[in-house]
Chains A and B, each alone.
Chain A
Amino acid sequence: MAIIVNLDVMMAKRKISSGELAEKIGITPANLSILKNQKAKAVRFSTLNDICKALECQPGDILEYQED
């Protein structure tokens, strides 16, 4: 996929664990894993909003477009 999710990079920068982030944004660790492992087909604006709020970052810090 051309859209890369850099969630693990931001999580490392903020020193936050998967379980902690999942609890903060109100999704299951399994769903967070799907997102981290580039398996997700779509991301809801509400989820993106919660992630940005929890990690204090911009959507562009999490999502990146790469040429195939």
Chain B
Amino acid sequence: MDSKYNDSVIRWTKIATIIFILLVVAADCTGPIITRFVTVVWADRLDTPAFVMMTVLFYVGTLFGYVVLFSVFKLLDNMSKDIVFDRANTKLMRYIVIGLISAGLVCAIAGYIWISMLYLTVVAFFMALIVLSVKIVFDKAITMKEDLDLTI
């Protein structure tokens, strides 16, 4: 029962991750339109340097978004194959943390153009903190599992 429920959760989470990846692809395709809207309408900045900087930061940010989303997808894929307490998963979690912190820093720089981007920085850093905590739990569990595997 629990296993079926978990498999279902993993399957739906993988679907959600794919949808998020497609959304980021769509955002990348319409990048200049989005950044123009954010810079002009929300940030009330009409200068070209602000638009160019926002566009560059947007694409750098989505790059880290891909790192995070593909790592999450691979992590879920491992979970569905019953590869749970494995060093490969903690490596993926490290990529997620690095991706989130980098995306947070990009948002912090974008805060220079539009101050509300700093909210995204806080959210990204908080998510990185949570993933880092889970990574530490996994690291400890893997060490315990390795000890148990070598108990004869």
Contact = CB atoms under 8 A, between A and B. Distances in A.
Interface of A: 27, 31-32, 34-35, 39-44, 47
Chain B interface size, as a band, is under 10
Q: Which secondary structure dominates where chain B touches chain A?
A: mixed
Nearest to A41: B150
A36 B134 CA distance: 36
A38 B60 CA distance: 50
Contacts of A31: 152
A32 B150 CA distance: 11
23 contacts: A27-B152, A31-B152, A32-B152, A34-B150, A34-B152, A35-B152, A39-B150, A40-B150, A40-B151, A40-B152, A41-B146, A41-B147, A41-B150, A41-B151, A42-B147, A42-B150, A42-B151, A42-B152, A43-B151, A43-B152, A44-B151, A44-B152, A47-B152
A11 B102 CA distance: 58
Interface string B138-152: 000000001100111
A44 B147 CA distance: 13
